[in-house]
Amino acid sequence: MKKSIVLTLCTLVCLALSGCGKQSPSQVAEAYLNALTSGNQEKANAVSGEDLRMFNAMWAEGFRQQAKEPEWTKPNFIVLREEIDGDKAEVSLREKDGKPILHHDDEGKIDVPLKKVNGEWKVTHEDAKE
């Protein structure tokens, strides 16, 4: 009985130390865009750096207002690419039906830069390629 308890505790400690449950850059980027387009500034702030707080407030409010329009449908994003370089990453996403949303390039793609802060990925305004 004692051996099974000790073994279980050791397993739990190993899982905790291995970072089990941490989100990937793609998961964070999707969570960020979904929070903004839902008008949820708090959720957007939770997965982004301090440098985006004012931006998050403006975009979240804009989407809250847009959601009042009868023709508004909340966008759904798909991940096209994820590049990780040390403590920086960039995730490219596109809205599933190709509608232009947020800031995007000519292909409708949104590049989201991220950086690791205290071991967790956060969306940032910094260019991940620098």
Q: How high is the mean pLDDT in each 10-residue block of the chain (130 residues)?
A: 45 42 92 92 95 92 88 85 96 80 66 94 76
| Residue 30 burial by Cβ neighbours in a 10 Å radius (0-12, 13-18, 19+) | buried
Strands (E), the chain: 77-85, 88-95, 109-117, 120-123
Report all structural domains of the chain as residue ranges with CATH numbers, in order of start.
25-123 (3.10.450.50)
pTM: 0.75
> What pLDDT, on a 0 to 100 scale, did the predictor assign at position 17?
41
> What pLDDT, on a 0 to 100 scale, did the predictor assign at position 129?
52
Strands of the sheet containing 88-95, edge to edge, are 77-85, 88-95, 109-117, 120-123
Element (H, E) at 5: helix 2-17
123 phi and psi, to 5 degrees?
-70, 140
Distance of alpha carbon 60 from the chain centroid: 15
Scan for tokens 């990780």, then name that residue. Answer: 84
Element (H, E) at 54: helix 53-66
d(CA 52, CA 107): 24
